[in-house]
């Protein structure tokens, strides 16, 4: 079996507490809106627990297995900015993996934005080009495969991504789209000549969410067990996609996640599996059918749609207020305010406003700076109102 491992690497610029009494004050907006101390604290914690140990382990695996070890990364523009400021070694490790031929890079929106859900996709195109330029500047590479924010996908987005020059696009292998078909094949987008890589969410979530769950029937998940599961799959390619923070942050070192990761490539290769990058998958496999996605799907929450960000009235109100500023803020021509507006598009801000319960609700609490969604809503709207006055 062919196996493709892909990891989302992202950190947002979280917001400051911004009171209604701050609206209209003579203050510098970037420092007033964003909590730089909290952002640095969370990022540096993730560097210690996840980013450094995991990239260093990947470099060790690249030495052990050579070009047989392959992974792919979608590294957001905001994450690269954090690395520039606080952890250049992390970005250097990604560069070294890429130079050695063990890593592929994936395109996305620079700000991990929700702009693909705007009716007008001009902003989406601009942010994708910003991300391409950032990868060209740092890695000297133009990505061939695209992964939209949180794998948000529909027919319209796929068509636009093809126009931007990408050969493949990643999304969720949900039954809403595939029905009886398997995610372990390449598909073609409807009305576009672009290949679609479907995430095998069951196997991906076995690592990302269930690895340390003692009440899970698959516990404990060992490298040899997981390799056997993959080897027994039908199809041509198993796409295992997850957050990079799975290693050391979501699944703590005490769970054995790093030991699992260290042994997994060897166990897969011993069973005659082959590790591929997303670009190699797109180059080697042809579509077995077409996927028609007239509504937006994503890899988030149990619904696997966009209700993660637009599932309640608070989120919809914030999104519409934000979207409505585009024409005015671009006409104003103030680059600092434009950058702030784009940072406010980062999906995390509306993610924190979710009112979902049960397992989905627990996930939304992770890295969440607010005690309640309502507190987050008021704070976000105060910032939007202040930004509107500045425009």
* Active-site amino acid positions: 150
Q: Quick one: DSSP state of residue 113?
A: B
CB 187 within 8 A of CB 289: yes
| DSSP symbols for 143-202 | -SEEE-GGG-B-HHHHHHHHHTT-SEEEEE--HHHHTTS-SSSEEEETTS--EEEEE-HH
Q: Cα 78 to chain center, whole Å?
A: 12
How far is it, in rounded angstroms, from Cα 58 to Cα 61? 5
How far is it, in rounded angstroms, from Cα 378 to Cα 16? 12
- Neighbouring C-beta atoms of residue 168, cutoff 10 Å: 24
Hey, what are 80's tokens?
A: 């690269």
| DSSP symbols for 250-277 | TB-GGGTHHHHHHHHHHHHHHTT-EEE-
Those residues with Cβ within 8 angstroms of residue 110's Cβ, 6 or more apart along the chain or in another chain? 76, 77, 78, 127, 128, 130, 131, 134, 342
**Any idea which residue has 């290949």 for tokens?**
195
CB 249 within 8 A of CB 49: yes
Using CA atoms, how far residue 273 sits from 58, 265, 342, in Å, is 18, 9, 42
Helix (H, G, I), strand (E, B) or coil at 151: helix
Using CA atoms, how far residue 20 sits from 14, 17, 382, 384, in Å, is 18, 10, 6, 11
C-alpha dihedral sign at 157, 161, 167, 170: negative
């Amino acid at each position: 079996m062919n196996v493709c491992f892909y990891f989302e690497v992202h950190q947002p610029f979280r917001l400051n507490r911004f009171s209604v009494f701050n609206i209209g004050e003579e203050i510098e907006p970037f420092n007033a809106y964003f909590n730089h101390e909290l952002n640095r604290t969370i990022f540096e914690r993730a560097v210690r627990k996840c980013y450094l140990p995991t990239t260093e382990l990947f470099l060790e695996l690249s030495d052990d297995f050579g070009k047989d070890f392959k992974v792919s990364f979608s590294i957001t523009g905001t994450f690269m900015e954090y690395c520039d400021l606080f952890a250049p070694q992390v970005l250097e490790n990604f560069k070294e993996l890429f130079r050695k031929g063990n890593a592929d890079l994936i395109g996305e929106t620079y700000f991990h934005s929700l702009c693909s859900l705007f009716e007008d996709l001009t902003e989406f195109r601009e942010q994708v080009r910003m991300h391409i330029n950032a990868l060209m500047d740092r890695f000297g590479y133009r990505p061939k495969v695209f992964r939209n924010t949180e794998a948000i996908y529909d027919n319209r987005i796929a068509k636009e991504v093809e126009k931007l020059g990408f050969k493949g696009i990643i999304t969720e292998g949900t039954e809403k789209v595939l029905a009886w078909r398997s995610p372990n094949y390449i598909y073609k987008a409807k009305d576009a000549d672009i290949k679609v890589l479907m995430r095998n969410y069951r196997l991906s979530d076995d690592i990302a969410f269930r690895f340390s769950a003692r009440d899970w029937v698959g516990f404990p998940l060992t490298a040899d067990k997981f390799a056997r599961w993959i080897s027994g799959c039908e199809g041509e390619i198993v796409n295992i996609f997850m957050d990079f923070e799975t290693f050391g942050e979501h699944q703590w070192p005490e769970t054995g996640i790093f030991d699992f990761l260290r042994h997994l490539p060897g166990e897969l290769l011993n069973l005659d599996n082959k590790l591929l990058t997303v670009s190699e998958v797109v180059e080697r496999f042809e579509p077995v059918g077409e996927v028609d996605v007239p509504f937006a799907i994503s890899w988030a929450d149990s619904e696997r749609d966009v209700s993660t960000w637009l599932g309640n009235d608070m989120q919809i109100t914030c999104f519409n207020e934000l979207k409505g500023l585009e024409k005015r803020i671009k006409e104003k021509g103030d680059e600092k305010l434009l950058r702030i507006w784009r940072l406010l598009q980062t999906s995390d801000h509306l993610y924190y406003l979710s009112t979902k319960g049960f397992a989905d609700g627990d996930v939304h609490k992770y890295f969440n700076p607010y005690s309640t969604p309502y507190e987050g809503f008021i704070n976000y709207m105060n910032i939007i109102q202040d930004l509107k006055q500045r425009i």
